[in-house]
Structure 1
């Protein structure tokens, strides 16, 4: 299997620029994790004090739930902290417990991006699609159907395929144990909020965003990053896409510079906070004109639904 062609940093940056871009920090990643949880906590507090704001808090929290995954993704690249043990501990315990399983899968995606062996190719291959198809996906996301399928579908399938003589209850317990960290963490969260008298806040401003807005923005993120990018693309400047994001898009769709995805694939050793500076340096050198860049998420989605 041939790996995807890579960009060479020395072709685009000076030695000093590259050293500054790739420098690991002992506090920036920790600050971003604290910021993410702080936004979630503040949004939930606002919703508790002024319940009429809950419809606004749902997408804010959902986008920060995506933010936790983005920061875990940085940890998968060892970019969250200069100490590898701290990096992995923070990524696993404060961002997402899927880090250990995600890392080898994701690094394979980088090695074979948009090549036949790319495990994420299935996410971008169907595009462009019709607007009707896109709206059906949006409805499934916002109605919780996507969340239910992803979270409980494997459990139902495991029960259906249980061994002869195995009871459905035993099979349910076995399948539930595979995802026990998710159910335990959310069960404890619900219990803590219930003991404080705010069980409804956990349901409406943690579980509801997770079941609705998070699947939607995760889908938009997947579309933005690789949809409409040619399979087996040889040019490392066009194997992924950067999408310019305004303030509203950064709040509700693309936190923590996830929109600079072309730069991330070109130079995987860059921590997320260095991506905007890398983009500016590439733009100064005229390189962005050769890259796959879109002016915003709306224009991108219009192209992705042009079938």
Structure 2
């Protein structure tokens, strides 16, 4: 990572209560309750344990009532919970899981990133860059998730969602990363040889234990059918819907309340696409050091103060999908 990126990363991980509101004077003056920035590690640990408990329950459900519909239901909830693990990795990247940085990173890699074959350090480097300038030309999130060209036609959006659920998007994305298509956009994380080994061990150990446990229970194929398959089909679909909600079709700018969206109330859609409060995305971008379990409270404070942009507040993900898609002519007019 470059010296500038290292400094930006260090600054982002420091405790701070200031917002990223740019020239928005009223929002810049607003100060959330200081208690909302205080970490409560037990809440993060319970959330992480609940994620793994839900995964175990889905696998037990599928084993107890073998049926195609049971398998489908289990796959959907497991994919959703894989997304929840990705959100916990995201929390760890911001240093908001545990107070101790080493333990925060170890937990995030071992129980969130590793099971998904991901590197917390690499993710953190790209994600911090995203927070510095959302939706600009070199935003890693916009590039990797392909949300820089919205609004798009309804037909194009449907094709992308179908490609996700068929596993095409995952395979194409993995190929593009391996080919180096994002080399200029994704910052390289500085890793020691020992850390690279630790990442590999975390990936192999968690997935190996999962496979071994399923094999001992007489269901080794569950690892392929109910863990890996959802990860390359349903998880990309849910991840795309989440990414669209967060930033697609919004302008770059210093006031980060204007280039993110929020779903204002929990529902079955936020359960699927916005676990662990990630649907309060304006609030997260304004206060990156606020843990996920306090975002709902700061949302209420900002709403009461009428400081949130009404046009960026939605009641459902389906409303957002409609807003960023339309006929070919409508999409072309909005982009122009």
TM-score under structure 2 normalisation? 0.76
The correspondence for 1:12, drawn from 21, 26, 30, is 30
Counterpart-to-counterpart distance in 2, 1:152 and 1:199: 28
CA distance in 1, matches of 2:142, 2:58: 35
**How far apart, in 1, do the equivalents of 2:109 and 2:242 lie?**
22
Name the structure 2 match of 1:88.
105
Secondary structure, counterpart of 2:275 in structure 1: coil
| 5+ residue gaps, structure 1 | 159-177
Q: Distance in 2 between matches of 1:223 and 1:115?
A: 15
Distance 1:260 1:246 in 2: 10
Maintained 8 Å contact 1:7/1:267:
no
In structure 2, what is the Cα distance between the partners aligned to 1:284 and 1:179?
A: 47
Q: Displacement, 1:279?
A: 0.3
User: Which of 140, 148, 151 is equivalent to 1:125?
Assistant: 148
Alpha carbons 2:111, 2:206 under 8 Å: kept: no
Of 262, 285, 307 in structure 2, the residue corresponding to residue 242 of structure 1 is: 262
Question: Given that residues 47 and 54 in structure 1 are in contact (C-alpha distance below 8 angstroms), is that contact kept between their aligned partners in structure 2?
Answer: yes
TM-score when scaled to structure 1? Answer: 0.83
CA distance in 2, matches of 1:82, 1:188: 28
Cα deviation code 1:132-190 (max 9, x no counterpart): 111111111111122223346656x59xxxxxxxxxxxxxxxxxxx9886567545533
CA shift in 2, pair 1:190/1:26, >3 Å: closer
Which structure 2 segments of 5+ residues have no match?
9-18, 181-198, 332-336
- Inter-partner Cα distance in structure 2 for 1:10 and 1:136: 40
In the other structure, the counterpart of 2:312 is 292
- The CA deviation string for residues 5-36 of structure 1, in whole angstroms up to 9 with x for no partner, is 9238762235xx1x111001231111111111
Partner secondary structure for residue 287 of structure 1: coil
Aligned alpha-carbon RMSD (Å):
2.6
